[in-house]
Homo-oligomer: A and B are copies of this chain.
């Protein structure tokens, strides 16, 4: 795209004229698996309809860029085609990206796994030069003179950088003054657009399978006469999605390990690395009783808990002793995901018969839950990530006490005072979120949304257990209504996901969050008025993140300090 003159002039019409061939390419990419048969609308009409359809999940990235580009780069419509939709069409995308497509357009090879990376990333300085057109000549020379190799990617991105460059409750939108490493106006290879948050689908489906199993089996809910078949169907679906997601992400791990490293350093995304193991445990817990009456073997528990436990040791250690990733800065509602795994593991441990291991995990979970709960409730001034308006991510608050309640009941065999205390906490937090009227404001669908359904399901599950312990009309009604709510939510998301996947073909937008530059590179070339505002914001952030804006002119000295900070993070 850099060589494309229509893009560099940046005119509206040019972009629309440029759209058709791009769409055609996309169609080719998704090639063999393109199973749709309906007539596609003409591209111009599609682009407009997508711009208008707020609330249906289409990001309006053009707004971000409109404020930034005075005249040079113009208001281009967003030509995100999203033709490559599904879970299984990565081969086509890979082929396109690995072939001549990558050379002509964006340089995606820098996110490739290091071992498979040849010296083909020489395109990178070109991009830097292109994005800083009005830079003085000696700066360009300097940037050319530098060793062009792994500069922007071979080092981890410090936590403060993510907060500085991204925004939104999921830190998935790029601030308007930020440049990114990959072209925004091009569809990236499918694997690069496949975020770790996709495991949220497995979380949502796996917990639903457990819920419907409990509804079918629980004596308290017998009046519903739920057939166990729903459980079986959901469980099969959950397993299928989990396997597909795992395989895809494993491929990303093989081909684009650098992108995964960037997701790992992302303050929100890192918590989603717990999701695969939690989802696997959900699936194990939700195993239909009719077909697997005996409890699973403890080795299954070990296989799923060990990676989770190792990750936990790493993350909690960063909170406690880490340099930059101290809890008071990185805490956000998705941090609950890093705690809830303990409780899910404790439930599974009780299921396989290792009660003491369950108590161990429960103790770890409750200790860190208190820390995370208090920290999030305090909303320390260092917590910049928390948005003002409510967002589905807040539903994470429900997940942990619900799971803690279930785990305690599973380990100790009765829904006693401790289990009830956690259960009622979850119910209150649930209520507290439900009464907020603007709960769903700013509805921008993404696959991570699925992760926000499993708290509702876990709460429903805890209510079913509570209704077993206290069988009365109120408890049963609560269990029923919560179950219906969570199932409705999951159904809505399922429909929405299918619509995005097959109709709008926008299920996997470009994952901008992983492509932020390690340093701000456009600080030196902005006009003064803009620069002043920028530097003010940077100053605010710097107070906690100690992340200075790096101009290319002073890149040599600054890089040293950045290296040091990063080294600090590496030694954590």
Contact = CB atoms under 8 A, between A and B. Distances in A.
B328 A428 contact: no
A379 B432 contact: no
A420 interface: yes
Nearest to A394: B321
A388 B421 contact: no
B378 A327 contact: yes
A389 B567 CA distance: 12
A557 B316 CA distance: 46
A328 B388 contact: no
Most buried by B among A327, A394, A418: A327
Contacts of A331: 378
Interface in A417-436: 417-418, 420-425, 427-428, 431-432, 435-436
A313 interface: yes
A359 B422 CA distance: 10
Q: Which of A321, A328, A470 has the most CB of B within 10 A?
A: A321
Contacts of A360: 424, 427-428
A295 interface: no
Contact of A374 (B375, B386, B417, B418): B375
Interface residues of A, number: 60
A165 to B, nearest CB: 21
Nearest to A418: B417
B367 A425 contact: yes
Q: Which of A316, A317, A379, A436 has the most CB of B within 10 A?
A: A379
A253 to B, nearest CB: 23
Contacts of A317: 432, 435-436
A157 to B, nearest CB: 18
A412 B376 CA distance: 31
A321 B421 contact: no
A462 to B, nearest CB: 12
A181 B568 CA distance: 34
B320 A377 contact: yes
Given A321-B389, A360-B427, A362-B421, 4 more contacts: A320-B394, A320-B432, A321-B386, A362-B424
